[in-house]
Amino acid sequence: MPVRLRKFIGTTLIIVLVLVYALVANTIAVATLGNAPWWGHLLYFLLTGLLWVLPAMVIIKWMAGPRQQ
């Protein structure tokens, strides 16, 4: 696969990942954290704010995969 195509697909996947992840994380927060204390909100959003990086790292590693010679 050409490098430019690989990077285009990876960039598109990361954008979709971030949008879907943000919508799902906020939907879960609205449904479950209604009466939670401030530290519960802080802990939840700290965890979910960092957790999206794991699948993004996999996509970035795939984007930087072996180049064609």
68 in a structural domain: no
Measured CA to CA, the distance from residue 37 to residue 14 in angstroms comes to: 32
Per DSSP, the chain holds a count of helices (H) and strands (E) of: 3, 0
**Residue 43: which domain range?**
3-63
- The answer as to whether 69 is a domain residue is no
- Please tell me the predicted confidence (pLDDT) of residue 67: 62
- N-to-C CA span, the chain: 11
The answer to the question of residue 14 being in a domain is: yes
% of the chain exceeding 90 in pLDDT: 86
pLDDT in tens, 24-42: 999 999 999 989 999 999 9
Confidence of residue 68 (pLDDT cuts 50, 70, 90): low
> What per-residue confidence (pLDDT) applies to 66?
77
Q: How many domains does the chain have?
A: 1
pTM, rounded to two decimals: 0.81
What is the DSSP code (8-state) at residue 66?
A: P
